[in-house]
């Protein structure tokens, strides 16, 4: 059947196609304006006042590029409706129904764009960055906990009311505008002018979908606009950022083939010598008579959001440490220390198997065997491995993954609730105090049984929505000066965050106090770190680069196990150095996978002793290097502490060290890919 039976049929079809295009302009414009409004709000709420005077061109470019992103994604969505109109046959009744449906469809799309804008604004308010791969925590994390966090932390009802208003107004506007378009008398034209007008509509639509007149369509590279990160982060709209994150998520679980030659080149760049397979990663602890005679228990406690940023406000009249204070001040602590990942599962994956692929526990490689398995050296010396968390075993498949790696027990909130019926679950798990109580009881039992334990534990209480457990202290912290700092301009509920910080610190301190007063105190080593610094703090200054990624590394080592340890609190490090340090303290003549250094060595290995945060920050004794600032260094402002001096040109020796250290990240990526593609048969001592 022919699409057009006559010239009149062609003209009727083309007039209706024009009407479709014109009707869709109204909801398309609402979609563009809604996304632009979100960007404007973020600029108003989070840009430092000085930005308007010092970076006016950058601000203008951000708004201009942002408008192009809004035009692009809105055009792509509405072009689907336009394409449908283009393909409809020239039937009056069918087109009439189609034109009546357009206000509904347009209003729905405009509301969708408004919803993505709300999500984008809330995401930036929480994490101080545009939507990225961590947004998929909504699917991978505990859904109930996410919903509780949203309810407590955001104006959900007001957001829903806003979206309902957008839907209603856009529908009303679309109906009014659509009716006027349908009533309008559009001139009939000859075939050639009509065809030219059709091509013009299609050309404008294609151009809008590209967002650019250049060789390449508008893309992520176009968001590199300013030295002020905020302006780069708010340029893309929520939908663009989401699809980039979706791309990254695909890569996040992807293991790519690698060659031995690639490894040799990376070894040459990083170590200054070639290497075969994983051989350069293999090392052994030295002789340790005390550990050999009586293997100590070892506890590695990973504290949720234990960064330096909030603890730095502890002081007279503002007690944030509670029972932790004497231990914090008397025991060993490294402050120039970075989390290796920037999310909980990111840091845990690196600690457990040295994987820079955060989703390894949820990937096809979750059942693999790894030379980099953190539990292997302890298992080889007869230890039992326990993983204890106040959260859920199902989170990120962590329970199954840790058990597969060799954990004899995985104790989570369900097991803790069964053991302690009074434990009332919060958003992310039971209060941390029950996790600490269980660890203390198991250490006592292990002493009776003569069984050394390695316990890795993960806390959850100091996590948004920052709900203080029953019995925990609320209020009483004077935060007036803190609230005035630009770091917290966007924060609501800052009191709650400090309350849960104080609770978590106090419970950790009570555990340490009880341990040291017990018989276990003489034969238990305790290491404490944060999974990452607290998220959502608005770091703008370059000199805050280390503070933004810093977590403490605390060590309690009984006198009998200190041996020849040399404690120097100014040594820089990161998560990669925790297990090598613990292996040397607790295991005698034991092979292990070395990708970091022993921070207590008399002469730390300079090749492995530095701090690393994926993917952009490195610290050494000289200062901080940033990946996107080659040949530049932020020197330390003082002999101790995290403060940095203004950036300056690196010396030739520092430039060489920066170049060498930049091979570390790719080397980590290579080794995990190498291990995945060279999997051997399962070991008999693995589940």
Check if the beta carbon of residue 434 is closer than 8 Å to that of residue 416.
yes
Of 487 and 668, the one with more pLDDT: 668
- The torsion angle over the Cα atoms of residues 85, 87, 88 and 90, rounded to 10 degrees, is 110
**Residues of the chain with pLDDT > 70: what percent?**
89
pLDDT tens digits, residue range 524-550? 999 999 999 998 888 889 999 999 999
What count of other Cβ atoms lies within 10 Å of the Cβ of residue 156?
A: 14
Which residues on adjacent β-strands are paired with residue 409?
386
Question: What pLDDT, on a 0 to 100 scale, did the predictor assign at position 91?
Answer: 63
Rounded to an integer, the average pLDDT of 11-35 is 81
Q: What's the pLDDT score for residue 684?
A: 34
Cα–Cα distance between 61 and 380 in angstroms, integer? 59
Tens of pLDDT along 348-405?
999 999 999 988 988 878 889 999 999 999 999 999 999 999 998 888 889 989 999 9
Alpha helices in 358-397 (DSSP H): 376-380
Q: What is d(CA 65, CA 251) in angstroms, rounded to the nearest whole number?
A: 27
Question: How far is the C-alpha of 284 from the C-alpha of 580, rounded, in Å?
Answer: 10
Query: What average pLDDT does the segment 224-238 reach?
Result: 82
Query: In whole angstroms, what is the distance from residue 597 CA to residue 605 CA?
Result: 7
Domain range annotation of the chain: 7-247, 595-678
Residue 535's Cα: distance from chain center in Å? 9
Position 218 pLDDT exceeds 60 = yes
Q: How far is CA 204 from CA 210, 236, 291, 382, in A?
A: 10, 21, 74, 71
β-pairing verdict for 632-635 and 623-626:
antiparallel
28-37 pLDDT per residue, tens = 898 899 999 9
**Averaged confidence pLDDT in the chain:** 88
Task: DSSP letter for 636, please.
Answer: B
Judged on CB neighbours under 10 Å (0-12, 13-18, 19+), 304 is buried
- Cα–Cα nearest to 172, from 96, 109, 100, 103: 103
pLDDT 10s digits, 321-350 = 999 999 999 999 999 999 999 999 999 999
């Amino acid at each position: 059947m022919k699409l057009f039976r006559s010239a009149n049929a062609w003209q009727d079809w083309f007039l209706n196609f024009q009407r479709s295009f014109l009707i869709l302009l109204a909801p398309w414009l609402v979609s563009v304006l809604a996304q632009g409004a979100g960007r404007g709000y973020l600029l108003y709420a989070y840009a430092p006042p000085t930005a308007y005077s010092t970076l006016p061109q950058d601000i203008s470019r951000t708004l201009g590029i942002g408008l192009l992103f809004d035009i692009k994604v809105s055009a792509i969505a509405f072009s689907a409706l336009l394409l449908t109109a283009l393909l409809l046959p020239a039937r009056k009744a069918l087109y009439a129904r189609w034109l009546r449906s357009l206000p509904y469809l347009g209003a729905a799309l405009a509301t969708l764009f408004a919803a993505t804008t709300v999500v984008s604004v809330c995401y930036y308010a929480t994490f101080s960055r545009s939507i990225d791969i961590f947004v998929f925590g909504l699917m991978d994390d505990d859904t109930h906990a996410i919903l509780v966090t949203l309810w407590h932390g955001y104006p959900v009802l007001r957001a829903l009311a806003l979206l309902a208003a957008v839907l209603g107004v856009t529908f009303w506007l679309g109906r009014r505008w659509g009716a006027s378009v349908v009533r309008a008398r559009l001139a009939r034209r000859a075939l050639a002018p009509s065809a030219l007008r059709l091509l013009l509509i299609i050309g404008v639509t294609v151009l809008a979908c590209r967002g650019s007149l250049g060789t390449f369509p508008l893309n992520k590279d176009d968001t590199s606009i300013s030295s002020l990160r905020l302006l780069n982060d708010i340029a893309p709209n929520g939908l663009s950022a989401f699809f980039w994150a979706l791309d990254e998520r695909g890569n996040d679980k992807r293991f790519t083939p690698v060659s031995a030659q690639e490894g040799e080149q990376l070894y040459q760049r990083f170590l200054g010598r070639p290497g075969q397979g994983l051989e350069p990663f293999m090392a052994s602890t030295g002789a340790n008579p005390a550990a050999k005679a009586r293997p100590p228990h070892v506890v590695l406690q990973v504290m949720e959001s234990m960064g330096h940023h909030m603890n730095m406000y502890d002081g007279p009249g503002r007690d944030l440490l509670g029972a932790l204070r004497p231990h914090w001040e008397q025991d060993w602590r490294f402050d120039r220390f970075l989390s290796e990942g920037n999310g909980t599962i990111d840091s845990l994956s690196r600690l457990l198997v040295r994987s820079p692929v955060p989703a390894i526990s949820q990937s096809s490689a979750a059942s693999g065997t790894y030379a980099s398995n953190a539990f292997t050296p302890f298992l080889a010396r007869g230890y039992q491995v326990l993983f204890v968390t106040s959260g859920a075993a199902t989170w990120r498949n962590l329970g199954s993954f840790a058990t597969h790696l060799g954990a004899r027990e995985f104790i989570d909130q369900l097991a803790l609730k069964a053991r302690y019926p009074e434990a009332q679950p919060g958003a992310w798990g039971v209060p941390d105090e029950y996790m600490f109580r269980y660890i203390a009881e198991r250490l006592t039992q292990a002493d009776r049984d003569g069984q050394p334990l390695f316990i890795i534990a993960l806390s959850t209480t100091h996590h948004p929505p920052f709900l203080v457990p029953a019995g925990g202290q609320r209020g009483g912290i004077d935060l007036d000066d803190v609230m005035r700092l630009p770091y917290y301009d966007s924060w609501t509920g800052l009191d709650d965050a400090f309350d849960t910080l104080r609770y978590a610190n106090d419970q950790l301190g009570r555990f340490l106090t009880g341990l040291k007063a017990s018989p276990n105190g003489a034969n238990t080593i305790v290491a404490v770190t944060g999974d990452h610094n607290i998220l959502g703090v608005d770091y703008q200054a370059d000199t805050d680069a280390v503070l933004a990624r810093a977590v403490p590394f605390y060590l309690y080592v009984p006198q009998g196990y200190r041996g020849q340890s040399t404690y120097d609190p100014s040594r820089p490090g990161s998560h990669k150095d925790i297990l090598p340090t613990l292996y040397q303290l607790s295991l005698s003549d034991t092979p292990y996978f070395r990708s970091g250094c022993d921070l207590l060595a008399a002469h730390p290995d300079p090749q492995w002793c530095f701090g690393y945060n994926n993917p952009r920050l490195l610290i050494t004794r000289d200062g901080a290097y940033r990946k996107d600032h080659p040949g530049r260094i932020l020197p330390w402002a003082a002999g101790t502490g995290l403060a940095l001096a203004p950036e300056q040109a690196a010396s030739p020796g520092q430039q060489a060290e920066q170049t060498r250290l930049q091979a570390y990240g790719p080397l980590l990526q290579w080794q995990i890919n190498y291990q995945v593609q060279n999997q051997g048969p399962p070991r008999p001592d693995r589940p």
